Amino acid sequence: MSEFFQQVINGVSLGSIYALIALGYTMVYGVLGFINFAHGDVFMIGAFVGYYLGPLILPLTGDSMIFAGLLVMLAAMVVCSVLGVTIEKVAYRPLRSRPKLTILITAIGVSLFLEYGGQLVFGPDPKLFPELIPSKAIIDSSDLVINTNSIIVIATALVLMLILRFIVFNTRMGTAMRAVAFNHQTAGLMGINIDRVISLTFVLGSSLAAAAAILYASVYPSINPLMGIFPGLKAFISAVLGGIGNLTGAAIGGMIIGLTETFVTGYISPAFRDAIAFGILILILLFRPSGILRRHETEKV
Amino acid sequence: MTGIFRNMIRDHKSKIVLVLSLPVFYLLGRLQGSISPYYYQIIIYIGINIILASSLNLINGFAGQFSLGHAGFMAIGAYTSALITSSIGIAGGLPTPLVFLPALAGGGAAASICGLLVGIPTLRLKGDYLAITTLGMGEIIRVIIQNLDFLGGARGFTGIARMTDFFWVYSIAALLIYLLYNLLHSTYGTGYLAVRDDEIAAESSGISATGIKVSAFIIGAFFAGIAGGLYAHFVTYINPSQFGFLRSFEIVVMVVIGGMGNITGVIFSAVILTILPEALRAAAMYRMVIYALLLVIIMITRPGGLFAFGAGLPRRVAQNAPAR
Amino acid sequence: MAAVSDLDLELERGCLVGMIGPNGAGKTTVFNLITGVYKPTAGTIEFEGRSLRGLKTPQIARLGISRTFQNIRLFKSLTVYRTLQAAIHYQAGYGLFGATIQGPKFLRCEKQIDNVIIEALEFFGLRDIMDEHALSLPYGMQRRVELVRAMICRPRLVLLDEPAAGMNQSEKNQLMNLIRRAREFYRCGILLIEHDMSVVMGICERIAVLDYGIKIAEGSPREIQNNPAVLEAYLGERIEN
């Protein structure tokens, strides 16, 4: 029983990370209508920011891990936001009126550029991420072992998601985002600065990806330039599962994928770790492509 | 008298070109010995890529369906044809064409059955969703092959007979181009373009979008399978990692850069994009970074394709339409 | 809430009927129901003795019903000529095999198709611009291309969705003329949605009025003009006669 509960915690922890990344995918899809393949690699850059800055910041904060972790996370969020906005301005904006396939190809191109560029700049071999989040095992009376790691991951993710929710539903900028996601043209006509809204979307999405990266690397400390591929894919699948364009859906989807992955690798076989997500993807696309919480996209005739 | 003759040529222009090209390719093929194996290899790869890119052009460019799993069809064709030739065996003493042709056709058929299986459920998916599904299908095919021991699994399938040569590759490429050219220059072919441009309007005009899409997938997959068979019987050793997403992506890039629906453009871009990585081989680690960067730059600056000169589509269609 | 809940409409062969009503009355929905874009939850739709329920759009089109769209839907990359080819596609007379082999049958069919297209282009005055990209034409011409596209396959019923939208009076007069002549030439019935009263009253033999998905009146133009329920639907106030 306690093992089960442990798996649940692990699953929710992993799921929270996927959720954070998925939110980035879903926001960009909601506002721009395409899948930002490069998102997973922005996540990867966040991890490397943490790798390089961690050892620098840690001594400055008197070795207080949580504080350092927070600073590193903020720094990564800033760097990734800049990266995300730059990518949008340079690679996606010129293609806004073009057929979707063109942007898709460009996004994949950017993704490859970051991956191979990362291998050039950082070196292809895996590196060990510094410890920025205290990882202590708490054992309670019923032999249940909970790692503080997981708790912090879940708590941080929750806080970030709540902040995002606040921004999207309780601020003017957030309302503007929702308007643009609903209908580009009308939003523009109402005086909303579409470009600014889109940039904000990328800032938010990339920040969350960066935070997710720091959390992920704290739990799985081996990082390398290709580390964004699978988490990115699974986060994307989470977004589709939850209903792409739907924020709550992305969070729920992330949890489902995280829990499923943890349970399957824990109770069935670790070999299926990545295949599971693909399987879920095919199933959704075949039976319910609009996701669990749909966002109706019917074409007006 | 000469008027009738001239009309005949005009009516059967493409057929004549196709038939004439065959002996030319045969003769060119005999020259194999006079060039270095390295250049010969590149020439073969160019031909195979022309087949791959053009077959994808039918699916993506003509019918407007995002297919990111083309390498999966190639893989099926490669393994199926390899199985066939390995089973029949040269030991049977049969002349090469008698073995190779059915093997290739078998590979193509297997791939097109898969194309049918992929095409049907994905029909109602649009744009990005279709792209992801085809991507997923391609990966699933690869993973399945990887886990089938009788195909060699991850270690690969070795000892394939080397039957591919210049003539095989280029006559098949010519056949495919002929097919696409004729299709584009016919009323029937216009149906594809209509589905691509506006599916709802096409259906309201009586065009079965389903039929068009499925036929595009079947034919496209068929030729991708044949390309796979040609590839397998050239490199004599295949393994699943050669047919992954990156391969599919390379083919998609050839089509997009060539201009979707642009037959000659795609041929040119297949040539260039086969030679380019070889030319960049010296740059080693920088090679892929440069490739990615160039790709993004081309997409931003010339999204219609590098070869989108003028209006693109031929204006008057039937080559036999009476002159005005 | 139903888009269309009480509509009983009968069209005879070769008729020219108009459907009017305030915005959101459900008129385009009726077109979408007839052409199979939407599925009806109740009721019957019959055409020449056949039920249309459950049929897909291309099947319905091949039975002889064609349409135009409220926001013109022309084929983005095709010329006028090729647009018409697309409309004749299903009547080509040969299939994929024929298209690739291009034997004598193909050549004959293509010649025939070419004749039909040229004839239609001439009738509608589009001959000179047949090699132009359809979307590069002025708005009025685009509407005309859409009209030809709907007619060229010789349907028995043509659904026109606001064909006069965005036109000035002289263009509207030309359009009315064109519709009358086309109907005569192609011998088809026409059901048309239109907001412009001069067009509706000018060419329709009969008019049906929809409001909130319900047919509130039907009759000759004169009868409709004097119908108080119709006036109320449009003006929103009771007209005491």
Question: Chain C within 8 Å of A271 (Cβ-Cβ)?
Answer: no
CB-closest option in B190, B198, B206 to C85? B190
pLDDT 10s digits, C26-57: 888 889 989 988 888 888 888 888 888 889 99
Question: Chain A within 8 Å of B91 (Cβ-Cβ)?
Answer: no
Contact B252, B68 (CB under 8 A): yes
Any domain includes C27: yes
Higher pLDDT, B310 or A203: A203
Question: Chain B within 8 Å of A268 (Cβ-Cβ)?
Answer: no
C70: which chain B residues are within 8 Å (Cβ-Cβ)? Answer: none
Chain B: which residues have CB within 8 Å of chain C? 11-12, 14-15, 178-179, 182-183, 186-191, 193-194, 196-198, 200-209, 215, 261, 311-313, 315-318, 320-322
Reference A17, options A169, A210, A276; nearest CA is A210
Any domain includes C104: no
Test B296 with A109 for CB contact under 8 angstroms.
yes
Test B208 with C90 for CB contact under 8 angstroms.
yes
CA dihedral B221, B227, B230, B236 (to 10 degrees): -90
C28: which chain A residues are within 8 Å (Cβ-Cβ)? Answer: 301
Query: Which residue is it, tokens 């008027």?
Result: B3
Among all residues of chain C, which has the CA nearest to that of B192?
C86
pLDDT 10s digits, C82-126: 999 999 999 988 888 888 888 888 889 999 999 999 999 999 989
Distance CA A102, CA A87 (A): 15
Any domain includes C51: yes
Determine the number of helices (DSSP H) and then strands (DSSP E) in chain C: 10, 8
Phi then psi for residue C208, to 5 deg, are -115, 140
Per-residue CA distances from A34 to A37, A52, B53, B69 (Å)? 9, 32, 24, 19
Pair type for strands A222-223 and A127-128:
antiparallel
pLDDT recorded at residue C195: 87
Question: Chain A within 8 Å of B117 (Cβ-Cβ)?
Answer: no
Contact A84, A202 (CB under 8 A): yes
SS3 of A170, please? helix
**B: neighbours with 3+ CB pairs under 8 Å?**
A, C
pLDDT recorded at residue A34: 84
Reference A9, options A138, A172, A125, A190; nearest CA is A138
DSSP string, A3-32: HHHHHHHHHHHHHHHHHHHHHHHHHHHHHH
Beta bridge partners of A222: A128
Pair type for strands C65-67 and A222-223:
unpaired
Residue A53: CB partners within 8 Å, gap ≥ 6?
A: A72, A75, A76
SS3 of C159, please? strand
Among all residues of chain C, which has the CA nearest to that of A300?
C71
pLDDT band at A276 (very low <50, low <70, confident <90, very high): confident
Higher pLDDT, B170 or A96: B170
Among all residues of chain B, which has the CA nearest to that of C69?
B201
CB-closest option in C67, C107, C133 to B204? C67
Contact A161, A20 (CB under 8 A): yes
Residue B240's CB is within 10 A of a number of other CB atoms, namely 24
Test A120 with B60 for CB contact under 8 angstroms.
no
Higher pLDDT, C161 or A143: C161
C153: which chain B residues are within 8 Å (Cβ-Cβ)? Answer: 205-206
Any domain includes C100: no
In Å, how far is C33's CA from the nearest CA of chain B? Answer: 12
Phi then psi for residue C120, to 5 deg, are -65, -45
Any domain includes A249: no
Test B190 with C86 for CB contact under 8 angstroms.
yes
**A: neighbours with 3+ CB pairs under 8 Å?**
B, C
Any domain includes A43: yes
Share of chain C above pLDDT 70, in %: 96
Name the residue range of residue A143's domain: 13-227
Question: Chain B within 8 Å of C76 (Cβ-Cβ)?
Answer: yes
Helices (H), A88-193: 100-122, 148-170, 172-182, 184-189
Test B315 with C79 for CB contact under 8 angstroms.
yes
**C: neighbours with 3+ CB pairs under 8 Å?**
A, B
pLDDT recorded at residue A301: 64
Contact B221, B251 (CB under 8 A): no
Among all residues of chain A, which has the CA nearest to that of B287?
A116
| CATH for C191 | 3.40.50.300
Residue C160's CB is within 10 A of a number of other CB atoms, namely 24
pLDDT recorded at residue B89: 64
Least-confidence region, from A93-107, A160-174, A205-219: A93-107
Residue A117: CB partners within 8 Å, gap ≥ 6?
A: B289, B292
Asked whether residue C168 carries a pLDDT value surpassing 80, the answer given is yes
Domain boundaries, chain B: 2-244
Higher pLDDT, A252 or A185: A252
Asked whether residue C241 carries a pLDDT value surpassing 50, the answer given is no
Asked whether residue A224 carries a pLDDT value surpassing 80, the answer given is yes
Question: Chain B within 8 Å of C156 (Cβ-Cβ)?
Answer: no
Reference C190, options C12, C15, C7, C22; nearest CA is C15
Reference B64, options B193, B187, B181; nearest CA is B193
* Chosen from A276, A285, A287, A297 to mutate, greatest number of chain B CBs within 10 A: A285
The tally of CA atoms less than 13 A away on the side-chain side of residue A112 is: 23
Any domain includes C175: yes
Name the residue range of residue C157's domain: 16-75+139-235
Share of chain A above pLDDT 90, in %: 52
Chain C: which residues have CB within 8 Å of chain A? 28, 32, 37, 69
pLDDT recorded at residue B64: 87
Question: Chain A within 8 Å of B284 (Cβ-Cβ)?
Answer: no
Higher pLDDT, A112 or B34: A112
Contact A151, A77 (CB under 8 A): no
In Å, how far is A65's CA from the nearest CA of chain B? Answer: 36
pLDDT 10s digits, A56-71: 888 887 767 788 889 9
Distance CA A94, CA B49 (A): 30
Q: Compute the count of residue pairs across chains B and C with CB atoms less than 8 Å apart.
A: 134
Any domain includes C45: yes
What is the residue-level pLDDT of chain B in tens, covering all 324 positions? 677 777 777 777 888 888 888 888 888 888 877 888 888 999 999 999 999 999 999 999 899 888 999 999 999 999 999 998 888 765 566 777 778 898 999 999 999 999 898 778 777 777 777 888 888 888 888 888 888 888 888 888 888 888 888 999 999 999 999 999 999 889 999 999 999 999 999 999 999 999 999 999 999 999 999 999 999 999 999 999 999 988 999 999 999 889 888 999 999 999 999 998 888 777 777 888 988 998 999 888 887 778 765 444 444 444 344 433
In Å, how far is B94's CA from the nearest CA of chain A? Answer: 43
C78: which chain B residues are within 8 Å (Cβ-Cβ)? Answer: 190, 193-194, 197, 313
Both tokens of B126, joined, read 């649009």
Test B303 with A120 for CB contact under 8 angstroms.
no
C32: which chain A residues are within 8 Å (Cβ-Cβ)? Answer: 301
Contact B237, B276 (CB under 8 A): no
pLDDT recorded at residue A148: 84
- The DSSP code for A98 is S
User: Count of domains in chain A?
Assistant: 1
pLDDT 10s digits, A115-138: 999 999 999 999 999 888 877 777
CB-closest option in A101, A117, A282 to B289? A117
Test B129 with A289 for CB contact under 8 angstroms.
yes
Residues C22, C26, C32, CA angle at the centre, nearest 5°?
140
* Chosen from C33, C68, C70, C77 to mutate, greatest number of chain B CBs within 10 A: C77
Test C90 with B206 for CB contact under 8 angstroms.
yes
Determine the number of helices (DSSP H) and then strands (DSSP E) in chain B: 13, 0
pLDDT band at A190 (very low <50, low <70, confident <90, very high): confident
Question: Chain A within 8 Å of B123 (Cβ-Cβ)?
Answer: no
Distance CA C85, CA C77 (A): 13
Cβ-in-10-Å burial (0-12, 13-18, 19+) of C130 comes to buried
C69: which chain B residues are within 8 Å (Cβ-Cβ)? Answer: 201, 204
* Chosen from A98, A299, A301 to mutate, greatest number of chain C CBs within 10 A: A301
Distance CA A153, CA A49 (A): 18
Distance CA A198, CA A63 (A): 38
Contact A223, A126 (CB under 8 A): yes
E-strand ranges in A116-264 read 127-128, 137-139, 145-147, 222-223
pLDDT recorded at residue A114: 96
Distance CA B259, CA B268 (A): 10
Contact B225, B107 (CB under 8 A): yes
Q: Give helix A2-32 / helix A172-182 axis angle, nearest 10°.
A: 70
Distance CA A212, CA A159 (A): 12
Contact B77, B111 (CB under 8 A): yes
Contact B176, B52 (CB under 8 A): no
Q: Compute the count of residue pairs across chains A and C with CB atoms less than 8 Å apart.
A: 4
Distance CA C108, CA A233 (A): 53
Among all residues of chain B, which has the CA nearest to that of A298?
B126
Among all residues of chain A, which has the CA nearest to that of C67?
A301
Test C114 with B318 for CB contact under 8 angstroms.
yes
User: Count of domains in chain C?
Assistant: 1
Question: Chain B within 8 Å of A105 (Cβ-Cβ)?
Answer: yes
Question: Chain B within 8 Å of C186 (Cβ-Cβ)?
Answer: no
In Å, how far is A219's CA from the nearest CA of chain B? Answer: 28
pLDDT recorded at residue B92: 61
